[in-house]
Amino acid sequence: MSKLISILGFLLLINGCASISPITKKNPLVLPELSKADMVIEENGKKRPKTRIEILTTARKIPAPTVTLKPVPIKEQIPVPTTPITRESENFELDYSKKLYKFWMNYYLKRDRKRFQRHMNRGHKVETIVRETFKKHHLPEDLFFVGLIESGYNERISSHANAVGPWQFIKGTATRYGLRVDRYIDERFNIVKASEASAQYFKDLYNIFGSWELALCAYNAGEYRIINAIRRGNTRDYRELVRKKLLPKETIYYVPKVMAARTIYESRKNYGFRKPASASNPFKNASTSTFKSSFSLNKVAKKIGVSYHRLKKMNPDIKTGWVHIKRGRSHELLVPSSKENTAVKIAKSYREKARKPEAKRLAKLRSKIKAKIAAYKVQKGDNLTRIARMFNTNIRTIKKANKLKTSNVYIGQRIKIPGLRSKVYTVRRGDNLGQIARKFRTTIASIKGLNGLRNSRIYPKQKIQIPVKS
C-alpha cells in the first residue's frame, strides 16, 4: 500500500513540473517594463537597462523622515553677544541659592551688623559717582553692591592676595585696564579712576560669559578659573556649576552675598539700620587738570590756594608728595572746580619748563665734566679697521699713536685714539647707554669700549667715560 502511494506522488510531481513551459524562442521570458530611472543613455543616444552593479551602486535614497527639533533652553546655549550691552533697567535679577541668600541676610543683620553699617556709610558717599559711571557705560547700576561687599568702599584697604582699593584690583588687572601702579601713583585707590576700570572689566566679563551670575563669579575668582570650571562641567549654567561644586566655595557664596547686600541697603530702614549721614563728598564739584611733567603736590596746592590735605584727599592715588611723570605720558589731577583755570596755568608752566632746549641742558652738563685723553679697550671681535671706523679715523694714525708695528691687537689691550678725549659721567636713575650715547652724540659701542663693558648694564652713581672729540 505504501509503495502505491509513493508511485502516485511521483507521477503528480512529474505532471506539476511539466505544467511550467520551458523558455524558448517561441516562449521567451517577458520582463516587467523598466522605469526611466532604471535606464542608462549611452553616448550614441541609445537606451539600455542598468546592470545589476549599476542598480546597486545608484540605489535610490530613502527620504529622511521629518524631525521636529525642540528648542534648546537658553541656559544650555553658548551666548555670543553680537550687539553692545544695553541697560534695560538700573537693577538686575540673578538666579541664586535662596538658602545661601538667607545665610548672608542673617550674617549681615546679626553677626556683622556694625561693620555693614560702616560699609553703608562709606558707600553712601560715593554711590552717585559709582552709579553714574555704570550708567554711562550702559551697565546695571546695581553693580554698585559688588564694591560694597568687596571693600565697603574703603579706599585704603588691601587683601591677602595684594588686591587693593575699593574695587580690589590686583596689579595685573589694574594695569590691563589703564590704571597706573608704581612707586609714585596707585590709581586703584582713586574711586573715580578705579570705577572706570571696573566698568570696562565688567563689560569684558559679560561679553565672555553672557550672564551676570558667571560674570560676578569671574570677578571674584578670575575669568580663567571660571572657564576651566565650564570646561570640566560641560555647561554654562551657573546653578549646575554650583551643584557640581566646580566653583570655589567663596565664589559659590558670592552671588547670594551681593543680592543680600542689595536687599539690606535698599531697605535699611526696615531692618533697623541708621540712615547714612550726608557727609561731604570730596569729589563733588571737582575738575581735572592734565599735567605732562613731574610736579610737587605741595607746591601745586600752595599756588592754586588749596590746602595740601584737601588736595591729597581729592587725589588718594598719589602715594607721596612728588608725582613723577615719564616723557610722553600725563597725569590727571583732580582740583576744585573753582580753581580749575589756575591749575591749568600751573600745568602749562610746568610743561614749558620741561621743554627747555636740549642743547642748553647738555652744554651745562658737558661743562661740569673734566676731559682727558681717551684709551679704547679692545673687545672680542675687534680689529683696527673696526676701531678706526668707530672713531672716524684711520688705521695708520692709530698705529702711529700707539707705536704698533703690525695691525694685530688682542682682547683687553688699551689703544689710544688720536684727537679723542673722554669725560667722566655719573650715571643717574633712569639712564641707559642709548640715552647717554644720544646726549653726547656718540655710539653705545664706543662707550662700552672705553669703559670695558661686556654688556649694556649700568647702575646709578656709576662713573663712566664718554668719548668727546677734542
Shared domain check, 229 and 157 = yes
Domain span holding position 424: 359-469
237-244 LR contacts (CB < 8 Å, sep 24+):
237/75, 237/76, 238/95, 238/96, 238/211, 238/213, 238/214, 239/95, 239/97, 242/97
- Report the amino acid identity of residue 52: R
Shared domain check, 229 and 365 = no
* Closest CA relative to residue 148, chosen from 268, 281, 259: 259
CATH number where 148 lies:
1.10.530.10
Rounded to 5°, the CA angle 455-458-461 comes to: 155
Cα dist. 329→135, 149, 292, 326, 346 in Å? 29, 34, 6, 6, 17
- Report the amino acid identity of residue 12: L
Q: How confident is the model at residue 74 (pLDDT cuts 50, 70, 90)?
A: very low
Rounded CA separation 226/214 (Å): 7
* Closest CA relative to residue 318, chosen from 173, 214, 180: 180
* Closest CA relative to residue 185, chosen from 331, 351, 346: 331
Burial class (CB in 10 A: 0-12, 13-18, 19+), 443: middle
User: Is residue 378 classed as helix, strand or coil in its secondary structure?
Assistant: coil
* Closest CA relative to residue 209, chosen from 76, 73, 79: 79
Q: With respect to residue 34, please indicate whether it lies within any of the assigned structural domains.
A: no
For the cut 60, the answer to whether the pLDDT of residue 314 exceeds it is: yes
Task: Annotate 286-324 with DSSP letters as a single string.
Answer: EEEEEE-S-EEHHHHHHHHT--HHHHHHH-TTB-SSEE-
Least confident of 174-178, 197-201, 277-281, 458-462: 277-281
Q: With respect to residue 240, please indicate whether it lies within any of the assigned structural domains.
A: yes
Q: With respect to residue 237, please indicate whether it lies within any of the assigned structural domains.
A: yes
Task: Find residue 322's DSSP bridge partners.
Answer: 296
For the cut 60, the answer to whether the pLDDT of residue 97 exceeds it is: yes
Neighbours of 213 (CB within 10 A): 21
Shared domain check, 376 and 250 = no
pLDDT at residue 456, rounded to an integer: 84
**Rounded average pLDDT over 38-55:** 55
pLDDT at residue 70, rounded to an integer: 40
Q: With respect to residue 163, please indicate whether it lies within any of the assigned structural domains.
A: yes
**Side-chain-facing half-sphere of 342: CA atoms under 13 Å:** 13
pLDDT at residue 86, rounded to an integer: 42
* Closest CA relative to residue 305, chosen from 353, 275, 264, 341: 341
Cα dist. 214→61, 93, 134, 137, 236 in Å? 47, 13, 18, 19, 8
CB-CB contact of 384 with 430 (8 Å) = no
DSSP state letter for 188:
G
pLDDT at residue 57, rounded to an integer: 42
Shared domain check, 463 and 391 = yes
- What count of residues does the chain have? 470
For the cut 70, the answer to whether the pLDDT of residue 37 exceeds it is: no
Shared domain check, 363 and 351 = no
Task: Find residue 371's DSSP bridge partners.
Answer: 423
Quote the cell numbers at residue 123: 558707600
Q: With respect to residue 36, please indicate whether it lies within any of the assigned structural domains.
A: no
Which of 355, 380, 399 delimits the end of a domain? 355
As a whole-number percent, the residues of the chain with pLDDT over 90 amount to 36
Q: Which residues, at least 6 apart from 80, have a Cβ–Cβ distance to it below 8 Å?
A: 210
Neighbours of 253 (CB within 10 A): 21
b/e sequence 255-279, b meaning 16+ C-beta within 10 Å: bbbbbbbbbbbeebeeeebeebeee
pLDDT at residue 256, rounded to an integer: 95
What sign does the CA torsion over 379, 380, 386, 390 have?
Answer: negative
Shared domain check, 417 and 341 = no
Shared domain check, 312 and 188 = no
Shared domain check, 342 and 213 = no
178-207 pLDDT per residue, tens: 999 999 999 999 999 999 999 999 999 999
Averaged confidence pLDDT in the chain: 78
User: Which of the two residues, 422 and 96, has the higher pLDDT score?
Assistant: 96
Shared domain check, 169 and 245 = yes
CATH number where 447 lies:
3.10.350.10
Rounded CA separation 326/314 (Å): 22
Shared domain check, 218 and 125 = yes
Shared domain check, 206 and 294 = no
**Rounded average pLDDT over 267-279:** 83
Q: With respect to residue 60, please indicate whether it lies within any of the assigned structural domains.
A: no
Shared domain check, 253 and 104 = yes
DSSP state letter for 36:
G
Q: With respect to residue 38, please indicate whether it lies within any of the assigned structural domains.
A: no
Domain count, the chain: 3
For the cut 50, the answer to whether the pLDDT of residue 56 exceeds it is: no
Cα dist. 177→173, 188, 203 in Å? 6, 11, 12
358-367 pLDDT per residue, tens: 556 556 655 5
DSSP state letter for 185:
B
148-160 pLDDT per residue, tens: 999 999 988 888 8
Q: Which residues, at least 6 apart from 114, have a Cβ–Cβ distance to it below 8 Å?
A: none
Which of 315, 332, 355 delimits the end of a domain? 355
User: Which of the two residues, 20 and 254, has the higher pLDDT score?
Assistant: 254
For the cut 80, the answer to whether the pLDDT of residue 78 exceeds it is: no
Q: With respect to residue 80, please indicate whether it lies within any of the assigned structural domains.
A: no
Which of 331, 355, 379 delimits the end of a domain? 355
Rounded CA separation 257/388 (Å): 74
Neighbours of 164 (CB within 10 A): 22
For residue 152, is it left (φ>0), alpha (ψ between -120 and 50) or beta? left
Rounded CA separation 467/133 (Å): 56
pLDDT at residue 151, rounded to an integer: 93
